[in-house]
Structure 1
């Protein structure tokens, strides 16, 4: 079950931070349902989700803004491997992100730690630790705790009513953002929402490292290894950046396919908005902390994100040029070739 709560300060909770077992998260990325790019003031108004808290913004190398963190209380089970589960109590941290005044993200995550005692504590204890859930009870196999918790989370075993369901939390928070009264619900193009499930583990000298895979048309998975707990926020920012660029690739691929087999004039209408509204947002790794630049380079080398993007953009430009040429001639007679 989940409970909506607010961010509060608890100095006692910051004195001693338990070592995380694992970090579990989900990020959903979509086009903001608005006809124009939001400026700084409009961004602040949209992301002012916690009264009295500050919206963080930067303008270089491109506009990027973060809402204040919100907390969603949870008291449920967390899948352990494929056959068992353990009880967790605490909060899931939720942050809305706006990229270039055009793309919106909802990012939720929780850091799973061992509970200091084997019984549930009052809610005040958990609310003071935004984005932390405590695992109550004895772990079936502490030696491989992080691996089993990652496997259980990604397998998504168990009914949603009793198992931690970050997907539902993320979808609900994103729906609320998209329905904000500041938005006119008239986006310049139609585009899907992508979903990135991610995990982070503490690997010491084994980090930083990342693996990334496509699980379906719109679902992806990233596994991140960081060296120390202090790098967990860097892993979160890295995953948000990966999700943005994967979304851009997903959209441009979809638009190229949609333009196949339609008339020249309609091709321009389908493809031109990609160049006008999205092409300038491509800046992989430019807005991630220095600790995660190396994993971005490794991911680029393995998955060729930028090569894919450059190839697609050039393809879109050529198709627009050809479609415009034939539209101006009044058709595409086969004899012209």
Structure 2
């Protein structure tokens, strides 16, 4: 089996973070199913799943035209009422029928796309991560459509406390080699806020659990990216110019730009909070290299140092010598 998906991650465009009830109202995509809510270890809400029927060619790196029919699962999640994610994913078996079946056959297999004939795993995985060609399946469009729908909700005032950019994460999970556990083969930062992740997982791994893991990777990558840009003075916060970076003379402007990070971002770092135990070791690869948490802690300490330096003049006043 091959499992692929794409995720959009962004700051919820509202001045105040949503409470648990408002989060449930925002993510109520279906009247027949409730929003999943959790307050431990942090505030988290996940929408019911929606299905999109597709019948189109799959992306393929070698140019092979492999047609697949079935449904793509899409859902949304909100962390601490502040960070919104929409994702879409699907699962592909190794082989499929030679002819198209009635839609009823596909509807009882949510999130499964059946290829016509044998599936070229490697070529399709490469094609998904590279983006494919015009006319190929693009689950990013499904995730985008759901995000657009949610951003139109009347609960949102579109006055975010800081400026940030959304990110995209594409992922492909191929079958692990016999007798081997899950592994992270590649995590890549590409242009235009795109990230790609290539995984290997045992074939009996639940697709939804893989999607949760990739949501977690996308969330923490967005947090790290946003904090790095904030500290670099790149189009974030209150419009602080690049010359007003930490360490520069314009300290009040710097602190005004850093305050939103303290109020809205620093408490969100919680890797593997909802990742399945069998997939949690995949985070260890990111902790080894590039070192997600090490970099995050260094950035947080840098912010705290700036706040401490700002507090010094209030605690210690120089006394001018008497004439």
Shorter-chain TM band? 0.7 to 0.9
Task: Tell me if the contact between 1:32 and 1:103 (Cα under 8 Å) persists in the aligned partners.
Answer: yes
Q: 1:303 aligns with which of 254, 266, 290?
A: 290
Query: What are the ranges of 5 or more consecutive residues in structure 1 without an aligned counterpart?
Result: 1-19, 330-337
Match status 1:57 vs 2:44: no
**Shift, 1:206, TM fit:** 2.5
C-alpha offsets along residues 55-114 of structure 1, whole Å, 9 cap, x if unaligned? 111111111111000011111111232322211111110010111111100011011125
Matched, 1:232 2:207: yes
Deviations 1:211-267 (A, max 9, x none): 312123511111121113333322211111111110000000110111541232221
Q: Does the CA contact (< 8 Å) of 1:82 and 1:157 recur in 2?
A: no
The TM-score, its normalising length taken from structure 1, stands at 0.84
Counterparts of 1:268 and 1:217, CA distance in 2? 28
Q: Distance in 1 between matches of 2:314 and 2:92?
A: 58
Shift of 1:192: 0.7
Aligned residues: 302
Q: TM-score, normalised by structure 2?
A: 0.88
Structure 2: distance between partners of 1:248 and 1:151: 27
Q: What secondary structure does 1:84 align onto? A: coil
Residue number in structure 1 paired with 2:162: 189
Q: CA deviation at 1:326?
A: 7.1
- 2-side partners of 1:212 and 1:206: how far apart? 20
1:220 equivalenced with 2:200 (yes/no)? no
Q: Which residue of 1 aligns with 2:130?
A: 155
CA distance in structure 2 between the partners assigned to 1:327 and 1:178 by the alignment: 42
Structure with the bigger percentage of helix:
1
Identify the range of structure 1 (258-267 vs 83-92) with the bigger mean alpha-carbon deviation.
Answer: 258-267
Question: Given the alignment of the two structures, is residue 294 of structure 1 paired with residue 269 of structure 2, yes or no?
Answer: no
Uncovered stretches (5+) of structure 2, i.e. residues with no partner:
234-239, 245-249, 317-323
